[in-house]
Chain A
Amino acid sequence: GAVVSQHPSWVICKSGTSVKIECRSLDFQATTMFWYRQFPKQSLMLMATSNEGSKATYEQGVEKDKFLINHASLTLSTLTVTSAHPEDSSFYICSARKEAQRNEQFFGPGTRLTVL
């Protein structure tokens, strides 16, 4: 397997503030990381694909100016939720693809965001 960490595991913030979530691949290099969002009892929704050294690719309907993604190194990608609102409250999960292992994706433990 492979280990992906995510920080923080949970965060509560006031409406209008920005929240930064970090995703790290601990024992392998990941040129590609993914950011997902999951609402209760719903399936994972891909928000964006993060590529090291280049701009992220956002899925349709996901605002790139609201969800800022930075993939500055082969082991770290960050997602910043800017000017968070209560409707942004969700479970945010990152994953990293291990190309040498049949492109299997390994997930971080997720970040539960609650915006008051």
Chain B
Amino acid sequence: RKEVEQDPGPFNVPEGATVAFNCTYSNSASQSFFWYRQDCRKEPKLLMSVYSSGNEDGRFTAQLNRASQYISLLIRDSKLSDSATYLCVVFGGTGGFKTIFGAGTRLFVKA
């Protein structure tokens, strides 16, 4: 089983749609959780950290469920510019201070 698993997609959605991505992680001792965005041929960029209480940043909402070891990202009112690969990232745990990246979920937003 992979340490961080994501549905690779692709998700094809129209502009204005709401889309949700899910991610599961295997190490229950993981400490920090993030969503990164990576555009084609570019470096990953931090989108947002994920907190147990849930957090929102504009059209983006992230949730963490430690009991189920599950992370989600919700994008509302999708824009064409949201087209990218979204990486679920987990830091720390019993293996030490290591960052584990999911393989990413590809999103295409179309006009």
Query: Are B99 and A43 interface neighbours, CB within 8 A?
Result: no
Asked if A44 and B42 make an inter-chain contact with CB atoms under 8 angstroms apart, the answer reads no
Interface flags for A49-69 (1: CB within 8 Å of B; 0: not) read 100000000000000000000
Residue among B43, B49, B92, B97 making CB contact with A93, cutoff 8 Å = B43
The CB with the most chain A CB atoms within 10 A, among B34, B42, B44, is that of B44
Main SS at interface, chain A: strand
User: Which of A49, A103, A104, A108 has a CB less than 8 Å from the CB of B43?
Assistant: A108
- Across the two chains, which residue of chain A brings its CB closest to B33? A102
Cβ of A105 within 8 Å of any chain B Cβ, yes or no, is: yes
User: Which residues of the other chain, B, contact A35 by a CB distance below 8 angstroms?
Assistant: none
Q: Which of A1, A104, A112 contacts B34 (CB 8 A)?
A: A104
Q: What's the interface size class on B, roughly?
A: 20 to 34
Contact B97 A32 (CB under 8 A): yes
Interchain nearest-CB distance for B84 vs A (Å): 14
CA distance A109 to B45 in the complex (A): 10
Interface flag for B20 (CB, 8 Å): no
The residues of A with any CB-CB pair to B shorter than 8 Å are: 1, 32, 34, 43-44, 46, 49, 91, 93, 97, 102-110, 112
Task: Enumerate 14 A-B pairs (CB-CB under 8 Å) in ascending A order.
Answer: A43-B87, A43-B101, A44-B44, A44-B87, A44-B101, A103-B32, A103-B91, A103-B92, A103-B99, A104-B34, A105-B46, A105-B99, A107-B43, A108-B43
Q: A32-B97, A109-B42, A112-B41 are in contact. List 15 more A-B contacts (CB 8 A).
A: A43-B87, A43-B101, A43-B104, A44-B44, A102-B49, A103-B31, A103-B91, A104-B32, A104-B46, A104-B49, A105-B34, A105-B46, A105-B99, A109-B43, A110-B42
